[in-house]
Structure 1
Amino acid sequence: MPLYQDTDVRKILYISSVALQLSGGDGSQSTRFVRDIAAYLSASCSEFFHVKVVPPAWIHIELTDPTLAAWLNFLIDEKRHLKECEQINQFTNIRVGELHPQDCGLKNIDLCFQVQYTHARCCSLLKLASRDGLIKIVQDGANILELSPTQSIPWLDCDQKLRFYRPEELRLLALLVKTVDNLVFPDSKSVVNWNTAALRLSAAFESFWCECRIWGEVKINSLELAQARLGLLMATQWVLQSVLEGKLGIVAPWEL
């Protein structure tokens, strides 16, 4: 079923025009198709997403918060598996200063550095959080930061809702979903501009970091929120590494 992600970052919503495509422009046919498809999806997958029919024959599929929490868990728990699936190139840990401009996939070396700097900051923040006891992180010999087996991320509150509520963290989550979709399920009909994708994700993280606190009062008064935001940070680090190394062909530095 062909889908595209809606631009409303307040929710993770996919839209499909499959009923319109199947009907070939026949209004009565598209109405029947969209009704039958929506009914089937609602009956079989209601715990994973909510389905809504929007005239003339669009199907809106909105992921539930528990589904998003499970997706985030998979993303940070299965790094090695995803790395093997994507066949991301292995790089030695060299510093940004050792890169030459011609080695960078981005047109402007300053923009290249911006994305690499964001990745390095994510790594340093995760290590700091681990030293402070906020979260348990382990680093293996393949330069992969992983969640300790004894650590879990409290993505959901007691009402099974994601703890994220600020626009900046919701936008970052939406961009992570979109970027991973493009990494794992590339659309053969369109070409992803990975330079732009990397810069957008980097900018979204910077906004998140400026507006969504982890230390200070949040650490003291809402440890679960701090840990959830660290989980989002960890997901960002991994996706940035995948884009830098796997799509742009440049180093994802661990320190500056």
Structure 2
Amino acid sequence: MSNYTALKSLIHGCLVYALSIDTLNHELISIETKKFPLYKGRDNSRVLYISGVALRLGKSHNQTNLEIASGIVSHLSAQRGDVFSVEIVPPGWIYLELTHRFLAAWLQSLVVTNAGDGGEMGTSKITRQNSSRLFSIQYAHARCCSLVLLAHREGLIQLTEPIPNLVSAEQIPWLNDEQTLRLTHPAEGRLIAELVEVIDNLECPDLSGAVNWEKVALNLSQAFEAFWSQCRIWGKVKVSSPELSQARLGLVIATQSVLRCLLVYKLGAVAPVEL
């Protein structure tokens, strides 16, 4: 349905691969079939996933949880150190934190990728929505469109495609000279965290229950409104830190793309460019 890359799915695949080349490979089939738990951390200052696969394996293996986790982590660090840093937290949790460089590449993929084909009208029959909540989501989408189009007219950012697919024509300066994300404000972290969670839900939803897409979209729209009210793009920021302005605009483009996907394909509603 969408062309996004789910970070949860990516990390799950890395864990499965690490298991397949470890001495624990005889456990792999049952672990993969059960889709071992992989949790996203709640700290919005970083993108962190927590795996308890070593704890599960420890119940049926002649090694301690920490020994099992150490074997998995050694493979992950050697093979995918560019994607995430890994640490073991007693009694055997594996913490995987996305590197800033990889997260920047992932964010860039959101601003240069279309969510899908089609116009801005939904089918209006997928589900029933609360009218006030739906308006809030549509308002956030329209606000994203107006901000990006204004920036395009002012030459702050260049687009390759017209509405409804606002696609950036250039590399967004996500990273500073130290190769860390410019987006360090708590509201920016919250919005990035919501984008990560939405795409995880889109590409690998929890099979234990249906996703409440209206709530998912509302959470994203609220995170965007908090970001917009606290993180300036124009004025002094544009003059003194144009790269920060562009990075924030990149976040707006990413949000617009994901909101449009939710409105059109999950809520069956209009994704308006203006209200």
Which interval holds the TM-score relative to the shorter structure? 0.7 to 0.9
Moved more, 62-71 or 103-112: 103-112
Q: Pick from 36, 46, 52: which aligns with 2:71?
A: 36
Secondary structure of the equivalent of 2:253?
helix
User: CA 1:209/1:242 → structure 2, altered by over 3 Å: closer, same or farther?
Assistant: same
CA gap of 1:255–1:161, structure 2 versus 1, over 3 A, is same
Instruction: Find the aligned partners of 2:218 and 2:127 in 1 and give their Cα distance.
Output: 12
The whole-number CA distance in structure 2 between the counterparts of 1:71 and 1:196 is 24
What are structure 2's unaligned runs of at least 5 residues? Answer: 1-11, 13-35
1:181-220 aligned within 5 A: 181-220=200-239
Partner of 1:145: 166
- Once the two structures are TM-superposed, the CA of residue 30 in structure 1 deviates from its matched residue by 2.4
User: What is the CA-CA distance between 1:68 and the residue it aligns to?
Assistant: 0.4
Does the alignment pair 1:135 with 2:157?
Answer: yes
- Secondary structure of 2:151's match? helix
Say if 1:104 and 1:112, in contact at 8 Å, map to a contact too. Answer: no
**1:76 paired to 2:111:** yes
> What CA distance in whole angstroms lies between the structure 1 residues aligned with 2:165 and 2:248?
19
* 2:97 is the counterpart of 1:108: no
- Are 1:163 and 2:182 matched, yes or no? yes
Is the 1:105–1:250 Cα contact (8 Å) retained in structure 2?
A: no
* Contact 1:139–1:146 (8 Å) recurs in 2: yes
Q: Percent identity?
A: 46
| Inter-partner Cα distance in structure 2 for 1:105 and 1:117 | 19
Residue identity opposite 1:15 in structure 2: I
RMSD: 2.1
In structure 1, how many angstroms separate the alpha carbons of the residues matched to 2:110 and 2:245? 18
Q: Quote the offset at 1:178 in angstroms.
A: 1.0
Q: State the partner residue of 1:124.
A: 146
Give me the TM-score of the superposition, normalised by structure 2.
0.81
The 8 Å contact of residues 105 and 112 in structure 1, kept in 2 or not, is answered as: no
Matched residue of 2:42: which SS? Answer: coil
Distance 1:93 1:209 in 2: 25
Q: Which residue of 2 aligns with 1:238?
A: 257
For residues 91-131 of structure 1, give each alpha carbon's deviation from its aligned partner in whole angstroms, at most 9, with x where no partner exists.
4559xxxx9xx858454201111100110110011000101
Report the 3-state secondary structure (helix = DSSP H, G, I; strand = E; otherwise coil) of the residue aligned with 2:254: helix
Q: What is the Cα deviation at residue 184 of structure 1?
A: 1.7
3-state SS of paired residue (1:50): strand
Aligned length: 240
TM-score (norm 1): 0.87
- How far apart are the structure 1 equivalents of 2:190 and 2:237? 20
Task: Tell me whether 1:61 sits opposite 2:106 in the alignment.
Answer: no
Gaps of 5+ in 1: 85-89
Amino acid corresponding to residue 211 of structure 1 in structure 2: Q
